[in-house]
Every structure is written in structure tokens, then in C-alpha cells.
Structure 1
Amino acid sequence: MSQHPSKDVLDVLVVGAGAVGGAIALGAARQGLRVGLLERNTAPTFHEVMPVTRVATLNIASMEFFARLGVQDALEARRAHAFSGMSVWDAHGPGHIRFDADELGVPALGWTVEHAALEAVLWDEMEAAGVALWPETEWKTVDTGPDRVDVYGNGHALLASARLVVAADGAQSSLRTRMGIPVHEQDYHARGVVATVTTERPHEDTAWQRFVDDQIIAFLPLADGRSSIVWSQPELQAEDTLALDDAAFCEALGTVIDHRLGAITATSRRASFPLVARHAQYYHAGRVALAGDAAHTIHPLAGQGLNLGLADACALIERLHGPARRDPGAETVLRAYTRDRRAENAFMQRAMDGFRLIFGTHAAGLPELRGLGIRLVDQATPLKRRLALRAFGLD
């Protein structure tokens, strides 16, 4: 049940009910803080008969975070699917690398989850934890003071006051803009084409990824045996792909994944999103902190975007323990949060750009050299394990 906006001062007000915002609000409430959440859209819902829409991959660190929040079981009951393998290869060289959960001694490498399921589970848990939930509520103005932030709606009606406001309102964050926080953007002039497909052969509980020239194709295993695909392509090529009929799309997709799972026998409707990397110059201004896509976006080639946002959520919640409970929006708290996360997120952005450039370059001899390097990593168990620990959140 949603509540009417309160004139009492909250400890934490979160703007945005996506996975990152919901996790921050729930985690803060679990610590006994007074928490509210504003969401401009209707309350998220999920039903088993709903078609699969947007999906994400959670690494082990993210799922452990959700376990601590008490939502892992509810997620697994809503079509979250654990996968045990990951296979990555290059179309222009002999390189291939395979990660396996058994080799790493872990129950899974990750989970494919639907955003709708994740957001609905978090909403239900927030409601049960006493978070003041305000769906279909949009802020219009914000006044920042030395000890609190006042958030107003239409007609300058006070919506809420809080000692800390968290902007978790996405890549085009209005709150980030209102606070005057500059953002560095890198437009890849590419789009990610997404769909849910049925394949001739089973997905083997494996995430498959292939680099083909300036394209990257990923197949993510779903609980019902189908796969969710993300096909990164230059903008004009993506437009052509979206214009294909189902049969032509399935044929083109089968070719680009090298028919690894046999023929593509069916597809859902396609959608796409622009690929743009962003990074806020700083993660807080006054008593307003950025988290998730409001702070950073990243190329989707390794599926790390949501995991980085959830690492933000985890770090911020950790910083609200102890003395910080008395003033969650204190400068010392938010500086520490920025130190925890900004350098790590910048490193991951550089790493993804490096992978993209390495696999997208075909100078003479480079594909063979690249393939040799991949084979050596695949055979060098300690190095491969170290890479896996970092990629899957095990370090």
C-alpha cells in the first residue's frame, strides 16, 4: 500500500524504483532507518504469465547481496535462472575461453533475471519493511539546505524532506541535472538489439558470447529453455536488423552466433536501446548522492551494468552503519561512498572499452595473436581463475 507524502524528515529518500533504488531503500529500511521512495511510474508488478521483457545478469556478489536483503528466494521463484557456464569466442581467430562453475567451486556463475520480476520483488519487500512508497509521484523542485533536502511536487506542495536523497532515476537522471553534476559521455553510435528466442538445441545453462567485427552477440539462458539475446551493432546496421521479418531475423541471428545452438526457430518482437557510456564527475552534491545508471552506464558486452549499480547500493548501505545513522547525508559519509565506488566503476568502463577495441580491430596478424592470447588464458588456470573471480564478483 502506498502512503501519502510525509512532512516529517526522513533519514533517506530514494528517487527511482528500479533495482538499484529499490535495493538501497530496502537495505536502509532493514537497518531501522526511516525511508521513503518516489517513483514517477506505477508500482512495478510481475505475473508468471507475463512475457519475458528486459533481462539482466546478476553475478554472485549481487545475488549474495540480495540474499542478505532477504529477497533471493522470491527472485528464484519468479523465473530467475542460474547458469553454470560461460563461453566466449572470436569470429576472426582461434581464441575461445570457457568458464565453468564446477571448476571455480561455486554453485553458479550468475543468474538471468527479468527487470520486472526484480523490481516487483523489491517493491513488495519495501512495503513489508515499512518504506513509505509513493508511486506515480513526480518531483518538480528541490531545495537543498545544510541539514536536509526538501522535495516538492506540483504547486510547490512538499512531498518529502530527508537528510539524504539518493538519485537512482536512471541514465537521464533529472535529479543529477538539477544538482548540476557534470557527466562525461561516450556515444558508441551503436544499439543493443534485444529479443527472446527459441533455439533448436538447449542452451546448456550457459551464457554464450561471440565477437564478430564491430558486433557483439550474447545469448543469456532463461528458465523456460529459451534465450534472451543482446546483439550490439552499429546504428545503421541495427536499424536494418530491426526492419527484418521474423524469419530473416532468425536466419541472421543464427549466422552471427555461428549456429552454436542450432537454428533459431522462433523470436519475440525486437526492441533496441542506444549504447552510451556515461560517468558522473562526482557522485554527490550537498545531500544528494547518485547511484546506478544515474552515476554511470557502461557498454553491455560483459553484462556488468546492473552489477556495478548494485555494488553502489551495497557500498552506500554499508556506509550508513554505525555513527552515520545519525546523519546519513553527512559530507564524510558521501565522500567515503564516492571513494568506495567511483574508481572501481571507472576501471570497469576502461576495461570494457579495452575489450571492445581489442576484439573490434582486425589489423594484419592481430586476430591470430588475439586468439593465441585467449587460448593461453584459457589454459593458464591461475590467471583464468583470477579473471573469473573479478568478472563474477567473487573477489
Structure 2
Amino acid sequence: MSSKPVTRPTYAVVLQLPYARRTFAAALLGRMSYGIVPLSVMLAVTRATGSYAAAGTAMALFGGTSVFLSPARAALIDRHGPRRALVPMTAAYTALLGLLTALVSGPGAAAPPVLAAVTAAAGACTPPLGPTMRAVWARLTRDRELLLRAYGLDGVAEELLFVSGPLLVGGLVGLAPPAAGIVLGGCLMAAGTAGFVRSPAVRAMGHGDGRGRARRAAAPRGALRGVVRPALAAAGVGLALGVVDLVVVAFAEQRHYGDDAVAWTLAALSAGSAVGGLFNGAVAWRGPARARLPLLVAGLAPALAGAALAPGLATLAPALAGAGFFVAPALATAYLAADEAVVPEARVRAGAWVNTGVNAGGTAGAAGAGLLLGGLPTALCFTAAAAAALLTALVTAWGAARTDRVGQEAVPAA
């Protein structure tokens, strides 16, 4: 793999790394399932049972097992290698999605507890292609600037997948029942994983040989301790975003806007994130990622505070685009900081913990927003999201400064 420093790291150079394009394309094909399956499951269960409560329970279990068991699945990949771990995970995931499709497509829908159990099991088997692909990027190059660009490109692509996935489901349900989206998501995951594990860049990872086991045995028990702050920063970003998503819906309803206006307003947030991610990857940053991370998280705060002052969606959308400008850079930097903090044999787990942080934060933010909207105006809810981002940035900065002091004290005097 590439170990020479790159004089001018660019996105074009990232895609010219050995096997990068075919590996990245296969990973994105599989990861498209992430944007398709959740909405399809929710629509299919709702139509089959006629119960929003059953659909909500199924979705909560699917999302919960997928997010909170992600580090455990990543540990299997670190231990056994992507090929030996991803293939059975994908087989179980697609089989369970197929079973769920059968349960919601028959003449009589299965009982809600059965549907909940199957969706929870499917979520528990979700293949972590995102963290694994980021571990591949770290293996393809040792140049930190080029790796930052790779993470930025990866983050922007993932942002676009989560935007295009629901749009694809929206078009599909006009032609077929929602269960067709579940089938499509399973097929995309199977095809993407098959192409991913066949890549030479993936085959070179974690063969489980004696040297790999020796390196894992020699790795310190606290190898993942340095991931705490990047995961916390990602959780703060997710928390702010979780609040914003629900508050925008309430904001639009109170002013009698349609659902399409909500979609376009949230799309402005995603567009800002995509632009910010590309910009972040194009800048030659100096200093360690852990020093930049709190600044990027703090950048969300003034934009969200500005959203609190918006009188309508026409002014809210630019404010959210400004907040989005810091989202992808903050998450890409969190992944880079986590990668810098661990031994190579723990890279997939490190990325999974950051991924878990942002998703868990989003879940907590949505729940918190529901409580806040019961007694506060939307302006104060946006202010609360800004305060959460600022507090996270302060805690992350304090932790980074403390780590630097400890590191300096550990260096013996000359």
C-alpha cells in the first residue's frame, strides 16, 4: 500500500490510490442500503399492521440494535478480518430482510411482536461497511493530509446516500409496495459486500495469521481510550442534528408550510455539509486532528443560534446550510482523530465508536427535542441545540489540552 508522502494531496490523488475506486464504489453500493431500508421497513410495517405504534417500535429496535451493536460487529472484523466477518453478517442481514419481506407481504401480516423481533435481529446484523471502508482508507495511505481528504470524500458521499436513499424509496413506492424497498436494500448490501471483499485492498486486511494475532496480543488494553473524545464530539454533532430535524418540522407546521418545504430546508443542511466536507478536504491543515476537532464542533453553535432568529424557512434554510458547513468536516476530523489514537488492529472499532456516537447523539437529540417542543418555542429549541454543540466543543477542547499536557510531561528533559 502507499506509504510515500504526497506533495499535493487532492481528491483525484485519493481515487488514484491502488484499488481505491473499485473498493470505494463497492462500499458505496452496499452502504446505499442504509438510506433505503429504514424508511422502507417503516412504511411496510405501517401498511401491513395499520399501526404507527408497531412501526415505531420496529424502527426503534432496528435502529437501536444497528447503532449500539456496531462496535461489537466492528470488533469481529478487527479480529477475523473483513472477508471472514462481513460475509456471514451480510448473509444473515439479507436473510432476515427477506424474512421480514415475507412477513409483511402475505395475505395476513404477522403479529407486531414478531415483526419487532425480526427487525431487531436484522439491525443487529447490519454490516459496518462504513467503518471498514475508513479502515481501508487508512491502510491505503499513511499520508495524513491525503487520509483527511479520503475521509472527507467518504463523508460527503455518505451524506448524499442518506439524502438520495429516501428519495429513491419515494419513487419506488409509487410503482411497487414498500416491501420492494426492503428487497432492494438487501440486494444492494449483498452486491456491494461481494464486490468489497473481493478487492485486493480488503483481502490484504486481517488474514488472521500468527503475526496478526501477535500484534493484537501486544496491543495495550487501553488501545481504544483515545477514541473517547472523538466519539464524544461526534455525539455532540449528532445531538444537535437530532434536535434540528424535529424542530424544523415543528417550525414549518406552526407557520403552515407544506412537507415539501421541510424537505428542502433539511436538504439545505445536507448541501451545506457536502460543501463543507469538500472544502475541509481541500485545505492543507496544520496540527493534529484532535486540536481542530473542538473548533469545528463549535462552528455549529453560531449558525444554530442564527437559526433561532429566523422568521421563516427562507431565512432558516441559509442558517442551517451554515451549520451544515461544519458537520461533515467535524465528523471527518473525528474519524481521523480516532484513527490517530489507536493501533492499526483497532481501526474498524475506532471508526465504529465514532459512528455510534453520532447516531446515538441523533437519537438522544430527537428524543430531547420532543420534550423541549412540549413547553418551549422553536427559537429556544434551536438555541438549546447551539448550546449543546458549544458545550461539546468545550469538553472536547479541555480533553485535548489535558492530553497534550500529559504528553509533554511524559517527555524526559534533554
Determine if the TM-score, normalized by the shorter chain, exceeds 0.5. no
Q: Greater relative contact order: 1 or 2 (C-alpha under 8 angstroms, separation 6 or more)?
A: 2
Structure richer in strand, relative to its length:
1
Normalised TM-score (structure 2): 0.24
Structure richer in helix, relative to its length:
2
Normalised TM-score (structure 1): 0.25
